[in-house]
Amino acid sequence: MPGTAFDVRVDEIDGVVTLRMTGDVNRGAQEPLERAYSGTTGGSVVLDFSDVDYINSTGIAVIVGILAMARAAGREVRAFGLTDHYRQIFQITRIADFMAIYDDENTAVAAG
């Protein structure tokens, strides 16, 4: 259920940046997620949704903002840890057309 504050942690290994999100991806996620992304440089970006329980339509727009910034910088974005429900939402919103979604972290990181 919604109501968990958003947080994000950045891991960077071998040029792959992983943004580990926890809590709800909604309006409150925009500023911390953009700040976390802006603090990274270099190669691919992997979004970890394993500890995300809720995403609303504003949160989808936040994710697309990150996707657009990364693509403008020539950085590939991949994702893992989405529930089946949110995988379907990513298909409805057509984010899945531009961001490969994987079942687990190892596959997502290795895909680059």
- CB–CB of 26/56 below 8 Å? yes
Question: Least distance from C-beta 78 to another protein, angstroms?
Answer: 15
Size of the site for another protein (CB under 8 A): 31
| SS3 of the chain: helix, strand, coil, percent, to 5 | 40, 30, 30
- Choice from 22, 71, 100, 111 touching another protein (CB under 8 A): 71
- Choice from 7, 54, 102, 112 touching another protein (CB under 8 A): 54
Identify which of residues 41 and 68 has a Cβ nearer to another protein in the complex. 68
Per-position DSSP letters for 11-53, written without gaps between them? EEETTEEEEEEEEEESGGGHHHHHHHHHT--SS-EEEEEEEEE
Residue 95 found at the interface with another protein (CB under 8 A)? yes
CA 77 to chain CA mean position, Å: 8
The count of other CB atoms within 10 Å of the CB of residue 33 is 22
Residue 97 found at the interface with another protein (CB under 8 A)? yes
Identify which of residues 54 and 112 has a Cβ nearer to another protein in the complex. 54
Tell me which residues touch another protein (CB under 8 A): 1-2, 27, 50, 54, 56-58, 60-61, 64-65, 67-69, 71-72, 81, 83-85, 88-89, 91-95, 97-98, 104
